Structure 1
Amino acid sequence: MSEQHITRLHINDKEYILVGTAHVSKHSADEVKEIIEKERPDTVCVELDDQRYQSIREGNRWKDTDIFQIIKDKKATLLLMNLAISSFQRRMAKQFGISPGQEMIQGIDSAEQIGADLVLADRNIQITFSRIWGNLGWKGKAMLLTQVVAGIFSRETISEEELEKMKSQDMIDSMLQEFTTHFPRLKTPLIDERDQYLAQKIKEAPGNKVVAVLGAAHVPGITKQIHHSHDLERLSELPPKSKLPKIIGWSIPIFILAIIAYTFFANPTAGIQQTISWILWNGSFSAIGTALAFGHPLAVLTAFLAAPLTSLNPLLAAGWFAGFVQAYMRRPSVKDFDTLSEDVFSLKGFWNNKVTRVLLVVVLANVGSSIGTFIGGADVIRLFIQNL
């Protein structure tokens, strides 16, 4: 077999064989099978955490999903982001007739077949997402969301030959350099920290010969980092939550209520105008967001009624109430969860699947409410100044 995508390291009487793969390449899966059967290592490490390993092993995991619990746990946006991020990879995998992550599945199966130990070497995906989001500024978050949304609707195709070219280390290095330029804060938790985490887990793997199945982007970094020691606990820490959003979240409603209360005291007619303006701006934009998600009419009405109140309480969100009503009136079926991974391929699928419809209702109702809060708040201040 070709050694082009294989890196061999010898450290302290142990041999490490790093296999760089493309996550949607059938050739990569075949390469993984061949190298493991040929080398017969003591341990096989795969670039998976326990959560993703369980997802691979439990093909019907969506059937057990409780959409109400997702909304209640404030995970609707996170789930929608996860689905969107995976849509492009899944689309390419479908193009080549394989499952995304097939090379990882092959690594697991081959390890079992030769009786090798299996090590799940990657960091927990939720920790990685939290550290990514915590490291991005407002500009970075906006750029990332734009790229994610664009990825949903992209019809880009790529040849198997191009995939193999992407696995060369020179190409990977140049891609990472461009990635760093556009998202400098994103590269650290997504690539650099995981290189360190993966390197430490691979180094600690039992046995004298270890095969590691890795995305090609990680091979150059791991090759460097495996010669150093890394603190896995530090790399697994969740970023501290900033108090600023909470302070702002409570300051705005207190400020708005104080202005309306003072205006009512000084000029009741103007106070009534402020109240009506606040209700209409908040309710209307949240309702529009829900309508754009093709929410049920009762969900649209719920968003309109809830937004003016939830905007004054940072612990609540209009999208949660609209989402609950949408899920109740258009409860997702087992079929919707079964076809979820296919439906995220297209705009039509996103809107037609009842699961993503609920998630879109939650997200767009909240976005609309946020816009309405700023416009409604500005109008409340305008009326206050006019009546001084």
Structure 2
Amino acid sequence: MPHPSFLSPPLPSLRRAHARAAPASPPLCTLPTLSDLTSLGVLTLRPRSTDYKPPPPSARSQLEPELIALVAVSHHPSPSNLSPAYATAAIQRLHPDAVVLELCRFRAPLLNDPPATDTLPPWARLTLRRRLLGTLLASADDDAIAAGAEFRAAAKAAEQVRATLVLGDRPLQHTLSRAWDSLNLRDRFVLAAALARAALAGNTVGHVADEKLKETIESGLDADGVVDKYVRLLGERFPGLRRTLVEERDLYMAWVLKRSRAVSGKKCVVGVVGRAHVDGIVRALEEDDRRRREGEQPLLRFRDIVS
């Protein structure tokens, strides 16, 4: 398996293009406060456990961050998506040492402004952006706007506070390979048919029949657990896909946020991830703490996560 994305230096071309074309950030006073973000369910704060004992200098273990903050964002490319503003507000107010994005090297061109042409095959693009269930629920159509705005905003805010930018998602090729291998022949046929319908209907959600679902997808807010229901439907239709596209990546990103070299010894780390991943990441962090307290084998070990 390839090394984690953060082990490679940032691409200079991405950094230059982003710095040159990024629009000015709104004044800090116009952005939501931390209490606003937590009350909206956008920001989750996970302080390091009070009984945590730092490893000795001679150990190979990494020193865990003092605070992990998760910003739940929507990946839906819509003018009504507030996720870029939420990510900017959290980073500017927390002043983290590192910002972890739900991106890998393969998807890093989304940080360009304007973003580079998406090189994913249509079926992979539709699957990863979770348009599949929108197709299963209704037809679609939305305003055209470049994808990845939440990540570009987070990268710009990270640069302003001099935080290290980390690409913290599992390599895309590995995820897609495991997702396809997890499906039986019938599920592969059903998935192919659903993606074909998605391609014909358009890569959008403007006419989703469930207005509550549409509003949730576009705004990035989890209205009464709609996103949880959305992901649960994926698990019911394609259990293997949920495991590889959501649950395994939750573990990988939790490891990057807590135990990777990129965040070792940091005081504050902000993770900008899709809302569907937040609960799974929090559960992984809590379970890892529990196992440490009870003397069990840690949950978040790199060799286990990539196997």
Q: CA deviation at 1:166?
A: 5.6
Partner of 1:232: 302
Bigger RCO (CA 8 Å, 6+ sep):
2
TM-score (norm 2): 0.64
- Rg larger in 1 or in 2? 1
Is the aligned partner of 1:8 residue 2:45?
yes
- Taking the aligned partners of 1:41 and 1:21, their CA distance within structure 2 comes to 18
- The match for 2:271 is 212
1:98 alignment partner, SS class:
coil
Quick check: 2:83–2:220 contact (8 Å CA) kept in 1? no
- Please say if residues 85 and 151 of structure 1, whose CA atoms lie closer than 8 Å, have aligned partners that are also in contact: no
Give the length in aligned residue pairs.
223
Q: Structure 1 pair 143/223, CA: closer, same or farther in 2 (3 Å)?
A: same
Q: How much does 1:81 deviate?
A: 2.4
Match of 1:173 in 2: 228
Letter of the structure 1 residue corresponding to residue 246 of structure 2: I
Q: In the TM superposition, what is the alpha-carbon distance from 1:94 to its structure 2 partner?
A: 8.9
Distance 1:224 1:85, change over 3 A: closer
- Rounded to whole Å, the distance in 1 between the matches of 2:197 and 2:145 is 23
| Counterpart position of 2:196 | 149
Matches within 5 A, 1:109-128: 109-128=156-175
What is residue 151 of structure 2 aligned with on the other side?
104
- Provide the rounded CA distance (Å) in 2 between the counterparts of 1:113 and 1:101: 19
State the distance in 2 between where 1:93 and 1:113 align. 37
Distance in 1 (alpha carbons) for counterparts of 2:175 and 2:85: 29
Instruction: Give the alignment partner of residue 105 of structure 2, picking from 31, 50, 55.
Output: 50
Following TM superposition, by how much is the alpha carbon of 1:61 offset from its aligned partner in structure 2, in angstroms? 5.7
Instruction: Provide the rounded CA distance (Å) in 1 between the counterparts of 2:141 and 2:105.
Output: 25
**1:161 is the counterpart of 2:202:** no
Question: Which digits, 9 at most, give the CA deviation of each residue in 1:304-344, with x for residues without a partner?
Answer: xxxxxxxxxxxxxxxxxxxxxxxxxxxxxxxxxxxxxxxxx
- Structure 1: segments with no counterpart, 5+ residues: 66-77, 238-388
Which residue identity does 1:47 align to in structure 2?
A: E
Letter in 2 for 1:57: N
Distance 1:83 1:233, change over 3 A: same
Task: Report the Cα distance in structure 1 between the residues aligned to 2:130 and 2:256, rounded to whole angstroms.
Answer: 29
Q: How does 1:16-95 map to 2 (within 5 A)?
A: 16-24=68-76, 25=78, 26-57=81-112, 79-85=121-127, 95=142
> Over residues 47-93 of structure 1, what are the superposed CA-to-partner deviations in whole Å (9 max), with x where a residue is unaligned?
00111114533868669x9xxxxxxxxxxxx834235547886x999
| Identical residues among aligned pairs (%) | 25
**Could you say which residue in structure 2 is the equivalent of 1:287?**
none
1:193 aligns with 2:248: yes
The structure-2 alpha-carbon separation of the partners of 1:151 and 1:29, relative to structure 1 and needing over 3 Å to count, comes to same
**What amino acid maps onto 2:83 in structure 1?**
S
Distance in structure 2 (CA, Å) of the matches to 1:215 and 1:60: 19
Counterpart amino acid of residue 110 in structure 1: A
Deviations 1:86-137 (A, max 9, x none): 7886x99993453212101111111111100111110001100000011110
Following the alignment from structure 1 to structure 2, what is the Cα–Cα distance between the partners of residues 218 and 231? 19
Matched, 1:222 2:281: yes
Paired residue secondary structure (1:45)? strand
- For residues 193 and 243 of structure 2, the distance between their equivalents in structure 1, rounded to whole angstroms, comes to 20
- Provide the secondary structure at the position in 1 that maps to 2:67: strand
State the secondary structure of the residue aligned to 2:82: helix
**Conserved 8 A contact 1:19-1:214:** yes
- CA distance 1:45–1:81, shift in 2 (3 Å): same
Contact 1:8/1:16 (<8 A) preserved? yes
Q: Distance in 1 between matches of 2:178 and 2:83?
A: 29
Q: Is the contact made by 2:103 and 2:168 (CA closer than 8 Å) also made in structure 1?
A: yes
One of 162, 183, 190 as aligned partner of 1:136: 183
Higher helix proportion (structure 1 or 2): 1
Q: Is the 8 Å Cα contact of residues 101 and 169 (structure 2) preserved in structure 1?
A: yes
Offset of residue 153 of structure 1: 1.8
Structure 2, gaps ≥5 residues long: 1-31, 51-65, 289-298
Partner of 2:57 in structure 1?
A: none
Contact 2:82–2:220, Cα closer than 8 Å, also in 1:
no
CA–CA distance in 1 between the matches of 2:215 and 2:110? 29
